[in-house]
Amino acid sequence: MTGYPLAEVIATGAGPDTLPIAWDETAGLFSAERWYWIATTGDHNRPHLRPVLAVYVDQRVYSTTNPSARKARNLANRPVVAIAARAPTLDIVIEGKVTWMDDIERLQRVGDAYQEKYGWPVTVTADGSFDAPYGAPTAGNAPYRVYELTPICAYVSFPRSGGH
């Protein structure tokens, strides 16, 4: 998937001679991680932070939620998020817009990515959700809606020795 602008990468916490890394490198480091935290905004503009599993497919970030979960309600009302990962040498926060995914072909690619990365055996349903024999303990039961995050901005910080 090409032809759209990629996210702007902003380096923070780095030395004065450190240049921001390219989006492709940021995305590769982000994609390689297994554990993420996602921040949504709830009622009364209160933040809602949760651990999630996510995959990076076609230059987009995908994650799931039970339709009745607070995270799903927040995303339906305010479709913008920040998702964070800690790579070995830096921290990455990606901000972007969220849309609900219902394209069966893309859902299958996302499901395959979940199987490859986490060993999570999902099945794409006719209504564009995931069914699975199990989910995360905090995720509730299937079905799981899949949301797509289109990155707009990425913040990369260099908290450990030397920066990048």
Q: Which residues contact 105 (CB under 8 A, 6 or more apart)?
A: none
What local confidence, expressed as pLDDT, does residue 128 receive?
A: 95
What is the distance between the alpha carbons of residues 83 and 94, in angstroms, rounded to a whole number? 5
pLDDT tens-place string over residues 101-137: 999 999 999 999 999 999 999 999 999 999 999 987 6
Domain-wise residue ranges, the chain: 8-157
- Residue whose structure tokens are 């349903």: 125
What local confidence, expressed as pLDDT, does residue 156 receive?
A: 87
- Record the pTM: 0.88
What local confidence, expressed as pLDDT, does residue 64 receive?
A: 95
What is the distance between the alpha carbons of residues 36 and 120, in angstroms, rounded to a whole number? 16
- Residue whose structure tokens are 């830096």: 90
- Per-residue pLDDT at 1 exceeds 70: no
Q: What is the CATH number of domain 8-157?
A: 2.30.110.10
What local confidence, expressed as pLDDT, does residue 50 receive?
A: 94
